[in-house]
Amino acid sequence: MSKYAKVSEALTADFNAYDKFKESYQSKFKVSPDVRNFHEDFEISYGKNELWDRLSKNCFSCGSCNLVCPTCFCFNVKDDMKIDLKTGIKSREWDSCMIPDYGLVAGGHNFRPAKSNRLKQRYRCKLKTFVDKFGAYSCVGCGRCVEACLAKINICEDINAVKEEVSL
């Protein structure tokens, strides 16, 4: 007897069950962002600090949004030296650009101390930098960040707020 489960072809009922699940899941997303021209809108909004202060006001800087995101890939490199100071281990650790210490560099300087700057950078990475490099948005619209956010910050609502601010 094989230790592997027998695999069979998917039946029509399987596809119907999947479609039903997908419709149920998609119905949870009430806000749909208008990402048309967002690349340009982001550039216009970048210097509007009052907007970014308002959008990030409730942020706890916990990093939950990044840690559940399927496209976030920020990491930190850590050197753990042995007591002999000749050997050790260099490792990469998952990190989040939303955590205050992420921007901390040698000498104690933090180049993104404000949560508004960190939120702006997160959105810049997802909705502008990735477009510049690869021609597509890095946000896949899964909503995991919205569900994980303790402050209930919603990237879709923020995208719409940026577009509204730019159109004023």
pLDDT digits over 88-139, tens only?
999 998 889 999 988 888 888 998 899 999 999 999 888 888 888 998 888 8
**From CA 77, how far away is CA 57, in angstroms rounded?**
30
- Is residue 152's pLDDT more than 60? yes
Position 151 scores a pLDDT of: 94
Buried-state track 70-104, b at ≥16 Cβ within 10 A, e below 16:
eebebeeeeeeeeeeeeeeeeeeeebbbbbeebbe
Position 167 scores a pLDDT of: 81
Position 44 scores a pLDDT of: 83
Give the DSSP letter of residue 50.
Answer: H
Position 32 scores a pLDDT of: 65
Task: Please give the residue that has the higher pLDDT: either 149 or 39.
Answer: 149
Chain segment 26-56, per-residue pLDDT in tens: 777 666 677 777 778 888 888 888 999 999 9
**From CA 41, how far away is CA 165, in angstroms rounded?**
9
Sequence spans of domains, the chain:
34-72+112-167
Position 1 scores a pLDDT of: 54
Mean pLDDT of 6-17: 87
**From CA 135, how far away is CA 114, in angstroms rounded?**
29
Position 127 scores a pLDDT of: 86
**How confident is the prediction for the chain on average, in pLDDT?**
87
Give the global pTM.
Answer: 0.73
